[in-house]
């Protein structure tokens, strides 16, 4: 029996219990931020928006970059168009209105000995400069220097009294993420106080307990935690900054490695699966009976899965392969191996429609004999449902196909030996843990499939508890989908093409980045940028305008799953010509009669995602098209969608595949985009950007985790208390994620 309400407790029981010895002593780190001089109630409220509550939280609010104001230049040596710092004496300060009515403050700057120079400093709007800095004051001034007429000016520079400690000028100056209402200078001042403690030097940074035992620090030449935090906020120089960042990244990766290694070790030791086996000759006859020849990559993956299934340690394998690479048949053969060994298989898809598709695939693959199988979705009710449930309970039914509700509802198996989870992007670390706990007595082997490529850095970290098989080859004879890049003013032609396709009896998808016009959510580009198209508007406009007379339908993520399924079904049954949708159509479904995919606002999507969308068409015998519509300004990135590479056959080229595109996206847009906002079960890492972390650091922390666990598998030793605590914290974050 599997019940949803058990999930959270299962996860926490997977993790080691929080031990009282691993709780760090209370320090001022736990005090509210208002204890920092300068942070009042109002500011604390604003900080809360950034999830900064305690002084400890504040210390972990790290700068995203630095302005290098560390080099001092005499006024007469300043050069234009560069950020520089100078020591100067303020000369005459004047204020006037510009032609456009803006207040402009201008200060003459003198050499330190008082000699006047031609150099000035100018500010727009900042009246307080004149109020806070009197003429004759010695100042440190940092900022961009430009030509203003014929003399050089500091433009909008930052000033500090020369005698004051360098916080905002004359150093590597940290730039922090902010929220509305907090000024850059404020945030920097607060952190400086937390780190350095103001004039009395009572910085709380010294109270941060160091989670790393000193032998570990020495082995990897890492600074202690207090100096690392100090240098990561207010670095003395680049070198120390790098070393500090390396230290913090090391900690974070080490904890992740410890957590995953511990869990894997527990599984290997405690979990026990049914070994599922098939003799070579028998497997060969199954493969020979398939309606096609397996590709080399499919055979390789199948062999790896077969090896895993034969063991008592439950398989944890991710089967990764581009859209259409043929993952289903590999999973189906695994299910057949299970059935032959007397075990049952649950095959789970993200939607009911997809589950139905899988059920049809199984029927086709096992036409000439194979395991018994049935589809169990919410629409299977009454007597048929009872029969299936009985078959699962008494073991007479080998394979059940359904949605993830299968694990959540009261579906009892006699001998569940294999669970296949298809295309589940949200199947993160937490769900994997949950799943494995569900077998009673025996733990099922677990096979996950995905068309999303996993970068190596991820497979060595968050996916470290999974083995990975890759299908990096498409079946022969796939037709290419012709892809066009178009600008919005070319849309009339695009709709004409859609109409023609519909008149030939074919179908089209139109995908938009937003649901409805009110959804401005993440649009921070300001009022001037064109608003991205919405599904609701687009569908209405097309229905009344350019696609009038065709059968249109709308589908998006805010509709209930049932309604979405119903629409997909009507589309599948050809009752709809054009489906206007958001990316809910992204995953797995086969509509052989759909030949056109139009993506509006294409610049809003990741390349790998566009590739997935494109993969929705071209499943049938007709020639298929994909049209990516975007303002010309973003065509450079989208050009990858029509780029080609050598195919391996002399003089022949092929389009970039999902892996190439994901890699390119990673280079251009960074991991955040690639990972689709934590959709892939990646925990929130504070320091490390898994997309560009140095792979050597990953290996180093993996080795160190192994070394630590080899001597203290359960992290019981006092010197590992802080690490054990950090591992608990990490699991807690998963449990709440
Ligand atoms: P995906 O990896 O995207 O899940 P599917 O398993 O749905 O891909 O396979 C896509 C299509 O390719 C299916 O129609 C399937 O029958 C077909 N197929 C799979 N493997 C082969 C092969 N080796 N040769 C020819 N067709 C294949
Ligand atoms: Mg599939």
Render pLDDT for 18-36 as a digit per residue (tens, 0 to 9): 344 445 556 788 889 998 8
In the reported structure, the alpha carbon of residue 653 is separated from the centroid of ligand 1 by a whole-number distance in angstroms of: 22
Which residue minimizes the CA distance to atom 4 of ligand 1? 327
Ligand 1 atom having least distance to the Cα of 590: 7
pLDDT tier at 294 (50, 70, 90 boundaries)? very high
Q: What is the pLDDT of residue 669?
A: 55
Distances in whole angstroms, Cα of residue 399 to Cα of each of 168, 375, 389, 402, 641 = 66, 9, 12, 10, 38
Q: What is the pLDDT of residue 680?
A: 36
| Residues whose CB is less than 8 angstroms from the CB of residue 32 and which lie 6 or more positions away in sequence, other chains included | 44, 53, 54, 55
Element of type H or E holding 652: none
Encode pLDDT of 129-167 as tens digits: 888 888 999 999 999 999 888 889 999 999 999 998 899
Ligand 1 atom having least distance to the Cα of 357: 7
Encode pLDDT of 398-447 as tens digits: 999 998 777 666 788 899 999 999 876 555 555 555 555 554 567 889 89
Secondary structure letter of residue 20 according to DSSP: G
Which residue minimizes the CA distance to atom 19 of ligand 1? 326
Ligand 1 site-directed mutation target among 297, 319, 328, 422, most atoms within 8 Å of CB: 328
Secondary structure letter of residue 586 according to DSSP: -
Higher pLDDT, 459 or 671: 459
Which residue minimizes the CA distance to atom 5 of ligand 1? 326
Q: Of 156-160, 663-667, 677-681, which gets the smallest average pLDDT?
A: 677-681
**Which three-class secondary structure state does DSSP give residue 690?**
coil
* Surface-to-core class of residue 98, CB atoms within 10 Å of its CB (0-12 exposed, 13-18 middle, 19+ buried): exposed
**Which three-class secondary structure state does DSSP give residue 476?**
coil
Tokens at 186, concatenated: 């404020």
Please work out whether the CB of residue 223 comes within 6 Å of at least one atom of ligand 1: no
Most confidently predicted of 171-180, 247-256, 296-305: 296-305
**Which three-class secondary structure state does DSSP give residue 11?**
helix
> Residues for the chain: how many in total?
737
Please say whether the dihedral angle defined by the alpha carbons of residues 62, 64, 70 and 74, taken in this order, is positive or negative: negative
Which residue minimizes the CA distance to atom 13 of ligand 1? 326
pLDDT tier at 16 (50, 70, 90 boundaries)? very low
Distances in whole angstroms, Cα of residue 123 to Cα of each of 107, 140, 706 = 9, 16, 56
What does the DSSP assignment read for 156-203?
EEEEEETTS--SSSSSEEEE----TT--HHHHHHHHHHHHH-GGGT--
Ligand 1 site-directed mutation target among 288, 324, 451, 611, most atoms within 8 Å of CB: 324
Give the closest residue to 259 by CA, choosing from 628, 629, 714: 714
Please work out whether the CB of residue 452 comes within 6 Å of at least one atom of ligand 1: no
320: left (phi over 0), alpha (psi -120 to 50) or beta: beta
In the reported structure, the alpha carbon of residue 324 is separated from the centroid of ligand 2 by a whole-number distance in angstroms of: 7
Above pLDDT 90, what percent of the chain?
Answer: 47
Q: What is the pLDDT of residue 675?
A: 37
Number of H helices, E strands in the chain: 25, 22
**Which three-class secondary structure state does DSSP give residue 49?**
helix
Q: Which residue shows structure tokens 């942070």?
A: 39
| Residues whose CB is less than 8 angstroms from the CB of residue 458 and which lie 6 or more positions away in sequence, other chains included | 680, 682, 690
Q: Cβ(448)–Cβ(423) under 8 Å?
A: no
Above pLDDT 70, what percent of the chain?
Answer: 85
Tokens at 171, concatenated: 């150093």
Higher pLDDT, 554 or 16: 554
Say how far apart CA 37 and CA 49 lie, in whole Å: 20
Distances in whole angstroms, Cα of residue 99 to Cα of each of 105, 121, 130 = 14, 19, 21
CB atoms inside a 10 Å sphere around CB 514 = 24
Distances in whole angstroms, Cα of residue 223 to Cα of each of 215, 232, 598 = 12, 11, 53
**Which three-class secondary structure state does DSSP give residue 388?**
helix
Strand locations in 256-408 (E): 316-321, 344-349, 373-376, 399-403
Give the closest residue to 446 by CA, choosing from 530, 348, 539: 348
Pairing of strands 644-646, 653-655: antiparallel
Secondary structure letter of residue 439 according to DSSP: S
- Mean pLDDT within 287-295: 93
Tokens at 297, concatenated: 């990559």
Q: Which residue shows structure tokens 């939607």?
A: 351
Tokens at 513, concatenated: 């980045």
Supply φ then ψ for residue 76, to 5 degrees.
-75, -10
Q: What 3 state SS string does 366-383 have?
A: CCCCCCCEEEECCCCCHH
Q: How far is CA 434 from the centre of its chain?
A: 21
Q: Which residue shows structure tokens 């049914």?
A: 274
- Mean pLDDT within 163-174: 91
Give the closest residue to 233 by CA, choosing from 255, 205, 254: 205
pLDDT tier at 171 (50, 70, 90 boundaries)? very high
Ligand 1 atom having least distance to the Cα of 330: 6
424: left (phi over 0), alpha (psi -120 to 50) or beta: beta
Q: Cβ(250)–Cβ(222) under 8 Å?
A: yes
**Which three-class secondary structure state does DSSP give residue 204?**
helix
Say how far apart CA 2 and CA 650 lie, in whole Å: 54
Tokens at 557, concatenated: 């993520």
Residue 587, pLDDT above cutoff 70: no
Q: What is the pLDDT of residue 58?
A: 93
Judged by its nearest atom, the ligand closest to the C-alpha of residue 330 is: 1
Element of type H or E holding 592: none
Encode pLDDT of 60-118 as tens digits: 899 988 988 988 999 989 999 888 999 999 999 988 888 888 888 999 999 988 888 99
Say how far apart CA 284 and CA 695 lie, in whole Å: 40
């Amino acid at each position: 029996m599997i019940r949803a309400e058990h999930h959270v407790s299962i996860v926490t029981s997977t993790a080691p219990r929080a031990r009282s010895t691993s709780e760090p002593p209370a320090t001022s780190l736990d005090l509210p931020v208002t204890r920092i001089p300068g942070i009042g109630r109002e500011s604390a409220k604003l900080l809360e928006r950034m999830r900064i509550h305690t002084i400890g939280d504040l210390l972990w609010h790290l700068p995203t970059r630095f302005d290098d104001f560390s080099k001092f230049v005499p006024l007469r040596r300043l050069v234009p168009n560069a950020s520089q710092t100078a020591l100067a004496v303020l000369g005459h300060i004047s204020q006037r209105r510009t032609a456009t009515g803006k207040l402009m403050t201008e200060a003459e700057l003198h050499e330190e000995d008082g000699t006047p120079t031609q150099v000035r400093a100018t500010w727009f709007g900042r009246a307080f400069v004149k109020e806070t800095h009197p003429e004759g004051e010695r100042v440190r001034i940092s900022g961009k220097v430009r030509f203003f007429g014929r003399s050089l000016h500091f433009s909008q520079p930052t000033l500090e009294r020369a005698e004051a400690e360098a916080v905002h000028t004359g150093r590597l100056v940290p730039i922090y993420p902010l929220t509305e209402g907090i000024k850059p200078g404020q945030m920097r001042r607060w952190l400086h106080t937390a780190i350095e403690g103001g004039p009395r030097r009572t910085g709380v940074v010294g109270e941060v307990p160091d989670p790393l035992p000193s032998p570990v620090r020495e082995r990897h030449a890492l600074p202690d935690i207090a100096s690392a935090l100090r240098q990561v906020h207010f670095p003395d120089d680049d070198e120390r900054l790098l070393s500090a960042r390396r230290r913090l990244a090391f900690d974070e990766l080490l904890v992740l490695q410890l957590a995953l290694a511990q869990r894997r070790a527990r599984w290997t030791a405690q979990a026990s699966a049914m070994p599922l086996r098939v003799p070579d000759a028998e497997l060969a006859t199954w493969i020979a009976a398939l309606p096609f020849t397996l590709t080399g990559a499919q055979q390789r993956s199948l062999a790896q899965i077969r090896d895993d299934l034969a063991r008592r340690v439950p398989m944890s394998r991710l089967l990764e392969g581009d859209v259409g690479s043929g993952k289903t048949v590999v999973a189906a053969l695994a299910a057949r191996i299970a059935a032959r060994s007397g075990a049952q298989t649950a095959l789970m898809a993200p939607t009911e429609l997809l589950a139905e598709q899988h059920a049809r695939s199984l029927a086709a693959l096992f036409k000439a004999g194979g395991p018994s199988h049935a589809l169990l979705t919410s629409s299977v009710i009454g007597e048929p449902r009872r029969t299936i449930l009985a078959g699962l309970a008494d073991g007479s039914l080998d394979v059940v196909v359904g949605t993830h509700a299968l694990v959540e509802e009261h579906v009892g198996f006699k001998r569940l030996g294999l669970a296949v989870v298809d295309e589940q992007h949200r199947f993160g670390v937490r769900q994997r843990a949950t799943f494995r706990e569900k077998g009673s007595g025996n733990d099922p082997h677990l096979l996950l499939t995905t068309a999303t490529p996993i970068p190596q850095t991820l497979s060595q970290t968050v996916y470290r508890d999974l083995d990975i098989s890759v299908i990096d080859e498409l079946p022969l004879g796939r037709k290419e989908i012709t892809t066009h890049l178009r600008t919005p003013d070319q849309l009339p032609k695009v709709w004409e093409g859609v109409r023609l396709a519909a008149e030939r009896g074919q179908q089209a998808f139109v995908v938009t980045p937003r649901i409805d016009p009110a959804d401005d959510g993440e649009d921070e580009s300001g009022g001037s940028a064109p608003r991205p198209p919405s599904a609701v508007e687009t569908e209405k406009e097309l229905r009344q305008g350019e696609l009038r007379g065709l059968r249109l339908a709308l589908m998006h993520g805010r509709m209930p799953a049932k309604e979405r399924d119903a629409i997909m079904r009507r589309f599948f049954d050809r009752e709809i010509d054009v489906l206007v949708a958001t990316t809910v159509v992204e995953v797995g479904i086969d509509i052989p009669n759909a030949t056109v995919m139009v993506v509006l606002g294409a610049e809003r999507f990741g390349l790998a995602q566009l590739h997935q969308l494109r993969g929705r068409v071209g499943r049938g015998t007709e020639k298929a098209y994909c049209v990516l519509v975007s303002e010309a300004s973003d065509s450079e990135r989208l050009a990858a969608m029509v780029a080609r590479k050598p195919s391996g056959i002399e003089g022949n080229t092929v389009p970039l595949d999902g892996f190439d595109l994901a890699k390119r996206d990673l280079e251009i847009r960074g991991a955040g985009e690639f990972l689709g906002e934590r959709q892939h079960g990646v925990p929130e890492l504070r320091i490390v950007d898994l997309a560009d972390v140095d792979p050597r650091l990953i290996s180093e922390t993996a080795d160190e985790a192994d070394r630590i666990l080899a001597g203290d598998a359960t992290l019981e030793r006092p010197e590992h208390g802080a690490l054990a605590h950090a591992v608990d914290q990490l699991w807690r974050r998963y449990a709440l994620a």
